[in-house]
Amino acid sequence: MIRGVTATVCLFVILVATPRGTARQQEQPAPPTFTLDAIFDGAAAATSASRPVWSPDGTQLAYVWEEGDSSAIWVLDVESGKARSVFGLGDFSWAERDADPTQISEAGYQWAPDGQALLAQLETDLYLIDVAAGTARRLTETAERESDPRFSPDGTQVAVVRDFDLVLLDLESGTERVLTDDGDGDRIRNGIPDWVYWEELWGREGRGYWWSPEGGSIAYYRFDDSDVGRYPLANQVAPYPDVTWQRYPTAGTKNPTVQVGVLRLAGGATTWLQTGSRSDIYLARVDWAEDGSAVYVQRLNRDQTRLELLQCDPEDGRCKTLITEEQRTWVNLSDDYEILDDGRIVWPSERSGWKQLYLYSPDGALIRQLTRVPGAVASLESADEKSGDIIFTAFGAPPLGAARREVYRTSLEGGEAESLTTADGWNVADVAPGGSGYWIHGWSDANRPGESVVRNADGKVVVELPSKAATIAPEDLPAWELLTIPGPNGSKLPARMIRPPDQKANERYPVIMYHYGGPGSQVVVDRWEDSPRSLWLKLMAQRGYVVFSVDNLGSTFFGKRGEDRLHRRFGEVELAAQRAGVDYLSSLPFVDAKRIGIWGWSGGGFNTLYSLTHAPGVWRAAVAGAPVADLTFYDTIWMERYMDHPADNAEGYRDSSPLTAADKLRDRLLIVHGLADDNVHPNNSVAFVAKLTDAGIPFESAFYPKQKHGFRGPAERHLYERMTDFFERALSPEQRVKSSHP
């Protein structure tokens, strides 16, 4: 189909100098009282530069800055420290990242290869922004939504997914060319993952095609979901509910059939890569060799115990295995790898029980171990062949090591890693490409929002990114304290706690515990969080509650060997940690052990139901949000990774599912679910409620129409109002018990 390019839009360009060491200041009104209003009107949240994207040469940084009710894309020239607004967003809005599997990158825009323009997706269409001129050209104006637009390597074309097919836009002529034509959004998808890949393998990034380095070919996914079961998501707010049918493979059922093909733009033919005779596998990552001579595919068996890096010939499709990673339990898929220009491979492995980085030769032979940090590598930030430097983020050993993050530099030639950060707390890095040496350093701790600055290769601050403090000062909020508590079998568990700010020595206070659980999970962090959930916990502390969280022996703190404790059996390890938390709290003179509540969402909702049904009477009340009630209701990739196939572990699935023990509930429960939840389907909560009803067990429930796995808009505030009311009734601070302790 051929279409023309539409109108040109003029933009107002503003030049702004951001001096080093300063942020934009404006007169602040008197601080409001810390209430739910303050949480949801933004008074308790700081404003900072968001969605940063480096230019290809690493000398410019684009970001979004909000000033009052308006926001714009700004571009910072790092060397001069000057920033300017190049695109006023006005009435445009960004697509929500977790709305569905047809999303572009989190930033919502990207640089052209020459660094002269930005490609932005706003609403459903694409715009090309000339950075120097301050003008934007609208590239598409269609009823259909464009997804995952990407420049060709020479910047003359843009590939995009529309209606589940690949489309090529020529920027000079404005013409379009359809590259695939059988996508239908239900069974067949080209260039875009289906839900289960998007959620469980790609971390909610809709990546489904890859340009070759010279721009003559595109490698892409083709999904066939014909054999995947469908779940009905109904919009109940209608006389006759509208139904959206979602392809969703539950544990033990058939997965999509996935292929990776290489499409040659010159002739339009596709060569399908020969990734193996078994169709029941996962093709988890795709990359091109720098010279275009090979396509690398990471193949994961369905049991997820064997991960192989395949090197495939894009001409004939033949593949060979370079690296094999195996675990008795499961292999954790990672983005922390890099295929270098000379063919060497930086590869992550948990073979020691902790993730470290290793260097392999182009033919897959191990050269050396690159990192030996006391705990584990958290993420690989960059691997630069010219400088020989590797930048990575890591954390220390148990018991509290993983609560913090530190940025390190080491060499491709091996040697001791050098820390680039000195402050305790949570340090992150976003390294510029192109060998410029610049990197964004973000820092915060549990009680201070911190800062984001641009540093050079020597670690010197070049410029501070703009920020604006919250109306309510962080120091005026109740503070977290990190600690360890006695755990099972003599272990020490990481925990954190907020005490009521007006704590009196002769009073006992009720407690709200927040948890998540599951393999590699973590809620105990020394990092500033200003999400509604995190601020609500501080609000409840201010209202007279002790707030407490503890992570279990299968959490990030204890590495891969810790995670493996949960293999084939969920609930027991997590419950043991929460009971240890209750024991610790009960030993404190200011805690009323008879008024302890617990809550969690998603995996935390599951563990809340498991805790109440397997330890009745320990908690006075609980809120379970979007819980998995029956493990066979959840998807193949996530559930089978940890629990194995239901046919091979029927007992584990049965005994781990809270639904099995629903009739053991004895404590007050509020169960919450969004009726449009496409992640943990609402039938989980419905099934649990049905079993409680059959057993004559009282409960409270809140089902929210049109809400997905994460609530938005008025429903989110309503949820926290409902939880506040529930805990106030069940654990009211007005009913504090006098302590016999001085």
Q: What is the pLDDT of residues 213-230, one digit of tens each?
A: 999 999 999 999 999 999
Mean pLDDT (the chain) is 92
Mean pLDDT for 416-425 is 94
Q: Examine the pLDDT at 355 and tell me if it is beyond 70.
A: yes
Beta-carbon contacts of 212 under 8 Å, excluding residues fewer than 6 positions away, are: 153, 218, 219, 262, 288, 292, 314
Catalytic residue list contains 614: no
pLDDT of residue 733: 54
CATH 3.40.50.1820 is held by the domain 480-733: yes
Among the ranges given (40-54, 420-434, 544-558, 600-614), the one the predictor scored with the smallest mean pLDDT? 40-54
Residue whose token pair is 């922004």: 129
End-to-end CA distance of the chain: 81
Q: Examine the pLDDT at 97 and tell me if it is beyond 70.
A: no
Mean pLDDT for 84-95 is 74
pLDDT band for position 92 (cuts 50, 70, 90): low
pLDDT of residue 384: 95
Q: Examine the pLDDT at 62 and tell me if it is beyond 70.
A: yes
Which of 85, 521, 602, 611 is catalytic? The answer is 602
Angle at 737 between CA 735 and CA 739, to 5 degrees: 160
What are 118's two structure tokens?
Answer: 């930005």
Could you read off the pLDDT of 284-306 as tens digits, one per residue? 999 999 999 999 999 999 999 99
Compute, in degrees rounded to 10, the torsion defined by CA atoms 194, 199, 200, 205.
90
Q: 558, 471 in Cβ contact below 8 A?
A: no
Q: Examine the pLDDT at 433 and tell me if it is beyond 50.
A: yes
pLDDT of residue 685: 98
Could you read off the pLDDT of 500-553 as tens digits, one per residue? 999 998 999 999 999 999 999 999 999 999 999 999 999 999 999 999 999 999
pLDDT of residue 666: 98
DSSP letter for 504, please.
-
What are 460's two structure tokens?
Answer: 């010197």
DSSP 544-565: T-EEEEE--TTSGGGHHHHHGG
pLDDT of residue 734: 54
- Name the nearest CA neighbour of 420 among 445, 456, 384: 456
pLDDT of residue 103: 33
Which of 430, 630, 635, 677 is catalytic? The answer is 677
Mean pLDDT for 626-636 is 98
Residue whose token pair is 């060491």: 21
DSSP-based helix, strand, coil % in the chain, nearest 5: 20, 35, 45
Asked if the bond preceding 314 is cis, omega within 30° of 0, the reply is: no
> Of all helices (H) and strands (E), which one includes residue 310?
strand 306-312
Rounded to whole angstroms, how far apart are CA atoms 351 and 633?
32
Q: Which amino acid is at 609?
A: L
pLDDT band for position 206 (cuts 50, 70, 90): confident
Residue whose token pair is 């809400």: 707
Catalytic residue list contains 611: no
pLDDT of residue 21: 36
Mean pLDDT for 312-324 is 98
The pTM of the full predicted model, rounded to 2 decimals, is 0.92
pLDDT of residue 143: 87
Q: Where are the beta strands (DSSP E) in 561-676?
A: 591-601, 621-625, 668-674
